[in-house]
Structure 1
Amino acid sequence: MSAHWHRNRNQRFRISLLALAVAASSAALAQEPGVEHVEVVGQAVSIDKALKEQRSSDSVKSVVHADGIGQLPDDNAAEALQRIPGLSVERDQGEGRFVSVRGIAPDLNSVTINGTLVPAPEGDRRAVALDVLPSELVQSLSVVKTLTPDMDANSLGGTIEVESLSAFDHDGLFYSISAEGSHDENVGKQSPKFSGAISNRFSLGDGVDNFGVAAALSWQERDFGSDNVETGGKWDFEDGARLEELEQRDYEITRERTGFGLNFDYKPDDYSSLYLRTLYSRFKDTETRNAAGVAFDDAQQAGER
């Protein structure tokens, strides 16, 4: 269990049932007679896989896998990308939303999910908001910073590639369950979050472990608030920097994020593969915005009343 304090006085904790299950199974196996050793595969495998993928790429590419994403309580795919070198995240009420590559505007990047180009949901801009995608549904995130001739030339900044869970990412049965909770003092409410994933491989025909099924589910309802004072650019610079207006804001926000994915993979031989990728994501943002404006008859300078 770990606790983190956020700027909006938000306390969050996370319990991983997968870690508890591994610890319990290891203790049980150690007590059984005839068991010579217990092998635990940690994060080094995931890190090594990501580094090999980056080295073998024909372009400048950064990769982060699910183990790296799960180290910190990222709510969505945008926040999972924020620690990659050369990337920055535009935030809304503290949550990551748009991703900028090498300082270039998010509108000049492209986003793909399992190889399919994702259009922008908003009519007045090209940027794809990644806060609608729960981080628990992601197996890997790749950022291609230099395009190659085989890629669509529809981005100046880079291409963000999202890959969901596949049964062939693990050997045999794999499952994980996690639960999170937070309390926000601004609104005095608790916010639960639950997620889980499971995958397994089966043998069809004469093949061995050539068919895989993977499923992942995530649900979160976050209630939080923010309060601040903003000027809105109401400054008079003709006679020094003098403030003309300010606004006191008090927001109450509820964000519900639901995601589900079900994937099938079939590899009849070593040279071909068939797959079906499905992904459902729903993001609901409800905000109650209270504001009180103050306008000065005479523009105020710092220190004046």
Structure 2
Amino acid sequence: MAAIREVAEWVGASDPGTAGEVIEVSGFDNAGAESVVFAVDEATLALALASKAGVVLANARLRGAESPSDPRIVWVRDARYAFATVARRLKGRGFVADVHPTAVIGEGVVLGEGTHVGPGVVIEDGVAIGKDCNILARAVVYSGTVIGDRVVVQAGAVLGSTGFGYVRGESGEYLMFPQQGRLVVEDDVEIGANTTIDRGALGETRIGQGTKIDNLVHIGHNCTIGKNVMIAAQTGISGSSVVEDGAILGGQVGIGDHATVGRGVILGGGAGVLSGKKMHGEGEVFWGRPARPLREYLKDLARLKKR
């Protein structure tokens, strides 16, 4: 529960001067006097004001001489972001600091203050986990893994597993190349359910601060994932690849080994990046297999349609 004045402070807005408290964020249909809703355009603003919500977060660009003067409106730069901010603050941590009795904790494990370890979790010897982390049911964290603060690891994720690296002998047999490096997960990373991230072979795999990884993603050994990267479900990143800060990877993206996805590059769903390929252009959208700039991809589709 929070006073409306506090809500305005959270989102960097001026005090609307309306008394009252809110307890939840909500959609329009089921909003009540203690609910917060948001509006990004004139149509959604009309719906928000027609609801019973106590607070309406609205994009400031909608504010003008003819804009409504409803005292419930809190004008913000980005209503969606402000809505998410309020949701997090109202929800709080959402977990308590404890270790479930069915969790298996190895020797020399360090758990930071405020961290929660859920049922069936396995944390091997020597792992270090920072403060205020939430490690959910049946996640497995192998030795050689270091996790920063405020990291969320969803159910069934496997961190620091052995990489898929083999050397072929003259007779055709495969021998595993040493997989004895480590995995470093920086602060404020979120890792989805049943996602797997391999340790480095001789060096390290690193997941940068603020990166968000969806369910069913695989990241191979020796990969470097930058800060504030978004990776959607069923993406696979082969070993020794680099994804730089702010990149966005859509669902089912496939990246070959030793490839580079540059800063701010956007790979559309199902895009494929060949081994060793370097994709650059901040804000540039790439699509297709192999991935190419969206304009080229659409031209190729048009040519195929004419055949």
TM-score band by shorter chain is under 0.3
User: Which has the larger share of strand?
Assistant: 1
TM-score (norm 2): 0.22
Q: Which has the higher contact order (CA 8 A, sep 6+)?
A: 1
TM-score (norm 1): 0.22
